[in-house]
Amino acid sequence: MRLQNQVIFITGSTTGIGAAMARRFVREGARVILHGRDTARGEALRAELGTDCAGFVLGDLAEKESPAELADASLQCFGRVDALVNNAALTTRSHLQETDVAFFDRMIAVNLRAPFMLIRALLPALKRAEGCVLNVGSILAHCGQSNLPAYSISKGGLMTLTRNFADTLGPDRVRVNQLNVGWTLTDNEYQTKIGDGLPANWPETLPLSAAPSGKLLMPQDIAEAALYWVSPASRPITGSVVDLEQYPIIGRIPNQEHKVQ
């Protein structure tokens, strides 16, 4: 049991990668604090995991007061937080000419300001636990796609946040690391591509340039990698930003909006 007696707060954890992490961490002995904007979905996953193993906090990370409120609520679930996983993110598409101030500000608020403020609010608890933060970023932080400039910028900022706080909080024995996740087949991603006009079987007809292995990453793959970074096994490593993708980023052309012919 690699996470025995650990309490882990995972933002954006009622679906997709966050939900996969919650399931994986509980199997390793952790208690998890779920977060989302849908009470029914959050409580359903909590019931699946077991109410003794999971709590749920409701909140919209775009709201200025939300990180502090969520930090307080998370501590009320089990009395402590050993690890914070900043997983929640907006991935809404928008080209440069379509990106207005309101869109840009909301993207930055959820994807960058909220992780910053959650770390700030939970720092006393993380210091007591000599705990860790795992930020979930994206390979698009390195450059991004033309239809995701605000998203890519927010994830680039998250990399700087990770390295800065790793250096800043090292003397407090709070570790901060990041996973830059590649193209992953979540339910939301599947539906997004259907909305883009792709056929129902698009995950099975991907070009090799998009998925050399023949398939996309799955949420469970990311959860398995995350397990190492929130566990004592990764101590004392901090400040690492790890790309989780099935091809090297350097040498490829990242500015592609993947389409299936």
The pair of three-digit structure tokens given for residue 142, joined into one six-digit string:
């390195």
Are the C-beta atoms of residues 22 and 226 closer than 8 Å to each other? no
Largest CA distance in the chain: 53
Residue 249 lies in a domain: no
Could you list the mean pLDDT of each consecutive 10-residue stretch along the chain, which spans 261 residues? Answer: 97 98 98 98 98 98 98 98 98 96 98 98 98 97 93 98 98 98 95 91 90 94 98 97 89 53 40
206 and 131 in a common domain = no
For residue 181, which of 122, 106, 241, 118 has the smallest C-alpha distance? Answer: 241
What does the alpha-carbon distance between residue 153 and residue 149 come to, in Å, rounded to a whole number? Answer: 6
201 and 109 in a common domain = no
Helix (H, G, I), strand (E, B) or coil at 91: coil
Residue 86 lies in a domain: yes
Q: Which distant-in-sequence residues (6+ apart) come within 8 Å of 2 by Cβ?
A: 28, 29, 227, 231, 232, 233
What does the alpha-carbon distance between residue 217 and residue 237 come to, in Å, rounded to a whole number? Answer: 25
77 and 196 in a common domain = no
130 and 224 in a common domain = yes
210 and 158 in a common domain = no
- For residue 69, what is the domain's CATH number? 3.40.50.720
113 and 193 in a common domain = no
Cis ω for the linkage preceding 248 (within 30 of 0): no
The pair of three-digit structure tokens given for residue 112, joined into one six-digit string:
């960058």
Residue 253 lies in a domain: no
Residue 58 lies in a domain: yes
Residue 139 lies in a domain: yes
Residue 254 lies in a domain: no
* Segments forming the whole domain that contains residue 153: 7-182+218-244
- 44 phi/psi in degrees, rounded to 5: -65, -45
Residue 125 lies in a domain: yes
195 and 98 in a common domain = no
pLDDT of residue 261: 40
Please give the tally of structural domains in the chain: 2
Angle at 182 between CA 177 and CA 184, to 5 degrees: 115
pLDDT of residue 196: 85
Q: What is the pLDDT of residues 185-205, one digit of tens each?
A: 999 999 999 988 899 999 999
The pair of three-digit structure tokens given for residue 259, joined into one six-digit string:
């389409």
Residue 151 annotated as catalytic = yes
145 and 201 in a common domain = no
Residues for the chain: how many in total?
261
Residue 69 lies in a domain: yes
Are the C-beta atoms of residues 73 and 126 closer than 8 Å to each other? no
Which candidate in 151, 190, 228, 247 is catalytic?
151
The gap between the terminal CA atoms of the chain, to the nearest Å, is: 45
Count of alpha carbons within 13 Å of 43, Cβ hemisphere only? Answer: 3
